[in-house]
Amino acid sequence: MMLVKEVSRVLVHLNSPELVARFQRACGLFPARGQHNGDTRKNHGTRERNGTVKITQGGEHEHSCNLQYEVKNWTLYFLFVVSAALGHEVFYISFLPCIHWNLDPFLCRRLVNIWAVVMYIGQVMKDVLKLPRPRAPPVVKLEQRVDAEYGLPSTHAMAATAISFTLLLSATERVQFPFVLGLLVAVVLSALVGLSRLYTGMHSALDVMSGILISAMILGVSYPYWTTLDFLQLNSPLSPVVAVVLPLYLCYKYPELDHYSTTRGDTTIIMGVASGCSVGYWANQQLGITFEPSGPFPVTLGPVTLVTVVLCVARFCVGLVILVLTRQIMRWLSLRFICWTYGVSVGDIEARRRKEIEVPYKFCTYLTIGLVNSLGGGRAFALLGLL
C-alpha cells in the first residue's frame, strides 16, 4: 500500500504544471511582468501567441494571450524552439526524403515504417486517455495549434526517440561509422526534443517520459522482426494492398472526440505518407530499380567533396520543389472532388473537418507525396543528371 502511494505521489509530481513552470524559469522563460492569473495586459519583453511577433522599443516583444512571457536566455529559447520544430510536418517532409535521396532508400523505408507505427499509437493514446496538457498559468505556452490536443504521451518525444534510434540501429547494417558517436547523437537529439516540449509548455515531464518509454518499448518489441517485415514489404504481392487498406481503415477508425482536434488529421497525413512510400518501394523492387547503394554492407562512406555536397543540395532542392508542388496540386484536386461529392463548399471549414471529408482528402494527398518520394524522386534525378 505504501508503495502504491509513493508511486502515485511521484506520478502526480511528474505531471505537475509547477514542475514545467520551474523548468521554464530555470531556462530563462518567465511570465511577463505584471502577469497574474491570466492578466492579458501587454508588457515589454513578451511575444504574441497568435503567431505574429511585434517588436517594441528595446527589441522586445508583445503577446496577446492568456499569459504573456518574456525571454531572458535567448540561446536556450532558440535551441528549444528549433528542437520542437523537429517534430513538425516541415521537418518530416524534408528530413525523411533527404535520407532517401542522399543516403539510402533502405534507411528511409525503415524510418517511415517505425515513424508511422509510433505516431499512430501515440496519437490514439492521447485521445483515449484524454489527459490534459499543463495549464497556463503557471506554465507559459509558446504554441497554439496543438494546444487543443490532449497531453499524454508526448508524440514529439516518441517520434524523436523512434527516428533517432531506428536510424542508429539500421545504419549499422549499411554504413561503417563510430557507433558510440552515433549513440551520443541519438541520445542528445531525443533529449533536446523531449526537453523542448517542457520549455514550450506543451507537455508535462510525465508526458515526455511516457513518450520516450513507449517508443523504446515499441522499438524493442519490433526490432527482431524488421528484416522479415522488410522482405514482405518489398516482395509480397499483397504488400501494396495492405499498405493502402490497413492505414486507411485505421484512419477511419480513429477515436471520436466530442470536439474537433488536429490529431486525426495529423495522423491521417502520417499514415498517408507511409502508405504511399510503401507502395512506391514495392513498385521499385518489382521493377528492379531500387536506387539503393550496392553492397557488400556495411559500406564505407566516400570522402565529402564539393561535388558531392553540390549534388546533395541540388537533389534536396529539386526533390523538395517536386514534393511541394505535388502537395499543392493533389490537395487542390482531392479537396474539391470530395467536397463536390458531398455537396459542400470548399471554403466551409467546419465541413472540411468532418471525418468523411478530412480523412480521404488528406490521405490521398499525402499518399501521392509518399509515392512521388519513393517512386519518382530517383527517376527525376536520373533525368536531370543528379545521381
Active site residues: 156, 203
Contacts (Cβ under 8 Å, ≥6 apart) of 18:
138
When computed from its CA atoms, the radius of gyration of the chain, rounded to whole angstroms, is 22
Rounded to whole angstroms, the Cα distance separating 129 from 138 reads 23
Q: Would you give the DSSP letter of residue 299?
A: B
DSSP structure string for 88-105: SHHHHHHHHHHHHHHT-H
Contact present, 87 and 156 (Cβ < 8 Å): yes
DSSP structure string for 137-205: TTS-----TTTTS--SS-HHHHHHHHHHHHHHHHHHHHB---HHHHHHHHHHHHHHHHHHHHHTTS--H
Q: Is 317 exposed, middle or buried (0-12, 13-18, 19+ CB in 10 A)?
A: exposed
Rounded to whole angstroms, the Cα distance separating 360 from 339 reads 11
Counting every residue written for the chain, the total comes to: 387
Rounded to whole angstroms, the Cα distance separating 184 from 357 reads 44
Instruction: Tell me which amino acid residue 169 is.
Output: L
Instruction: Choose among 85, 97, 11, 10: nearest CA to 321.
Output: 97
The three-state secondary structure class of 251 is helix
Print burial letters for 90-102: b (CB count within 10 Å at least 16), e (below 16).
eebbeebbbbbbe
Q: Is 3 exposed, middle or buried (0-12, 13-18, 19+ CB in 10 A)?
A: exposed
Q: How far is CA 345 from the centre of its chain?
A: 30
